[in-house]
Every structure is written in structure tokens, then in C-alpha cells.
Structure 1
């Protein structure tokens, strides 16, 4: 399974919304600018997220998007499944010999476990931690 830019940028949108959760709607333009992404492409990605009821859209001058649920209730797996489809490492594993089939199943289960146990809150906190770290200053 390969996660496309659709899945990666979809997670970016959701992480940004999680970081701003409770502060009101966030415009896609703001997310696009902060992450150096195409606003037009983000508009295409947010539509399936809205249809899956992971985000809500608010119209108007101060409109934008908010998470439909708390960041602790939405997982990376929820987002990836909406944008990429089922999480499946190898197709047609039923035709594989038992040892290989077992390996592919174990790897797929491990990936699903990570995605389904990583919430947007986890990702938002990690993202905030990374941005607040100061680099070392060396004096010579």
C-alpha cells in the first residue's frame, strides 16, 4: 500500500484542524499557505472528508472547516480509509502459500493497528512539540 499525496495532504488538513479545534472554523487558504500546498487541491481533498462527516463546513465571511468530532475521536485510519480506500498491503493474498499469506496479514494488521490507534490529537500534539523546539545556538 502506498499513501498518495491525497492521503498525506488529507492528514495535513485534519492535523491543522485538530490544532485549531475549539477556536472556530479554519479556511483552507490558511492551511494551504501554512503548509505551502495548493488551495485548489485541498478543496478537492476536503470534499470526501466532509461527505464522510469527518469535517464540517461553515459558510460566510468567517467560514471555513472544523472537525466534526473531537480530535481524540478521529484516527489517522479514519482519514486514510476515506481518501485512499481500504488499508491493504497486498491484493489477492488468498492465492499465496500459507507462510506468505500469514506474513502479509501480520504486516497489514500492524499497519492498521498504528493507523487506528493514532488520533488526530496525538498528531497535533506531536506537530506542536516539533514546531516549538528551538535549535541549538553555537557560538565560536
Structure 2
């Protein structure tokens, strides 16, 4: 499974709304400017997020978007499923031979577990403590 820009930018929207939770509506224009993204593209993503009940839109001069629930109650999996569809490493798992089907199901379940156990509050509060080593590639 490859997460497209829809899923990645959708997470960006939700993380920014989580960081500003309780401070009133946040405009997509502000999020787009902060992350150097297309405001028009973010508008296309906000619709499905609103229809799924993850965000609410506020009209008016000082309008924008707010989370529809507490950041601790919204998972990365909720967002990815809305914008990307079902979480599956391959299509047609049921048609695979048993050994491969078991592998694909284990991969699917592992990805689901990570996405469903990671809230946007976790992502919004994440800080880089420098403990992760960067990858070194030699050519």
C-alpha cells in the first residue's frame, strides 16, 4: 500500500487542526501557506473529511475548519480510510494461495494496528528528540 498525497496532506490538515484545537476555526489558506501546499487541493480533501464527520466547517469572515471530536479520539487510520479507501497491501487477497494470503493479511493487520493506534493528538504532540538515526546511503 502506498499512501498518496491525499492521505499525506489530509493528515497535515488534521494535525494542524489538532494543534489549534479549542482556539476557533483554522482556514485552509493558513494551513496551505504554513506547509507550502495548494489551498485548492486542501479544499478538495476537506470535503470528504467533513462528510465523514471528522471536521466541521464554520462559515463567515473568521471561518474555517475545526475538529469534530477531540484529537485523542481521531486516529490516522480514520483519516487514511476516508481519503485512500480500505487499508490493504494488495488487491484480491482472497484469491491468493494460502501462504501468500497469510502474509498479505499479516502485513495489512500490522499497518492497520499502527494507523489505528496513532491519534492525531500523538502526531501533533510529536517532537524530534534526535534519537532516530538518519539513513546513510552509499553509491
Task: Specify if TM > 0.5.
Answer: yes
Match of 1:46 in 2: 46
Number of residue equivalences: 130
Superposition CA RMSD, Å: 1.3
Secondary structure at the aligned position of 2:34 is classed as helix
Is 1:24 the counterpart of 2:24? The answer is: yes
Q: Residue 83 of structure 1: CA displacement?
A: 0.4
Match of 2:10 in 1: 10
Q: Residues 15-68 of structure 1, C-alpha deviation per residue, up to 9 Å, x if partnerless?
A: 000000011100000000000000010001100000111000001111100000
CA separation in 2, counterparts of 1:12 and 1:75? 13
Which stretch shows the higher mean deviation, 94-103 or 73-82? 94-103
Match of 2:102 in 1: 102
Match of 2:86 in 1: 86
**Stretches of 4+ moved more than 2 A in 1?**
none
Return 5+ residue gaps in structure 1 as ranges: 134-140
CA separation in 2, counterparts of 1:86 and 1:97? 21
Q: Residue 90 of structure 1: CA displacement?
A: 1.1
Q: TM-score, normalised by structure 1?
A: 0.90
